[in-house]
A and B are shown apart, each in its own frame.
Chain A
């Protein structure tokens, strides 16, 4: 039996983590990738890179709206109509400054939209099609920031917390079916989004390592994965700290 290349959809394909996942997916065996993003030239750059890495793979850049529910619906329906989907990775987001969110409601709103509402809308649109085929893995990138609100990034954290709660519900919905829902919670990772944190003390995880663990978690269909793994323990402690201690921490 000749194996069909897997069909993988990546929303937010120009994000560093998603891109490194894509590089791993085309390594060794060809895949069919649909790369969704907002900026055509950046998408084409990612697609060209993947084509060099894997000339046999198919990489289709697809510019799409991230916020309009109708546009998202049309985009996702179009992809699903073209054939059975094996993996969906929803990876887009933007790390804004907490201070800007506090000072400007517009920034606050945008942060909630792009990190919370938008991933949920995309996931929901894909969920319907995965349910119909009872096949495929839907992976969402949350964050350790979604585990407990902290003064340094609680607006971003609230959006990511929404993704966490949403994924939990989706896992409940698809329990016992052929569809797997994977929630990934990366700790601070060395990406363009965090370039300004470099050398700040806390050691950032390398994006290659984070991507490797995400791809593995998706293969295994694990429901919740912290990357690097140490964050599971750290966040367990943070979540369980009583307020009178937690509120004294400058984190």
Chain B
């Protein structure tokens, strides 16, 4: 039980008539990387956002470490929001378009959550934030504003901001899709680093070659269900399902 960091059971979500998630089940062992692959509209981003309760599932259970929320039984109003926030606090989120706070310095972007929301001592948080910036290679940018950084640097700050919360898992929503091609490498290197340091990560990406290298587990989604799952050597190198084969052929042709 303790070895399983994330446990998702029967997750469903629809936006109006559109059933985006139609019963998702998977588990993620502690310290592993899970990569979600799938065509656009397959539900992979919605699944990731559900883990963070940025999208609220209609039904199903999400457990991250010791916090479990049954969305079918989620109370309405304030109590429900509080439960959602407890689950959300278990994970850090890295967005496709980094979403750094433009009016705060790089360091402040990291310390804002731990100091203001988690109410941890400023000195301790500052020290940790500087270590994290060093880790993503941006120690000298602590006092810069986000606009003064390149896209790759901004995304690395985005990763450091997520880590500063000391989350149980780190979620990545297409972290390199908005970047110029020559900046993709530096961000992927940081994510790979995290995986090797024992962070539990869930990554939505289109970088198949990267997924092959970093993933312990690949989930291929299509039409709101997991079509195929397993280690990359199986799902990416020798996909069994026709839909997976078709998707990989299309993506790799362009890549």
A, B: real partners: no
B interface residues, Cβ below 8 angstroms from A: none
A interface residues, Cβ below 8 angstroms from B: none
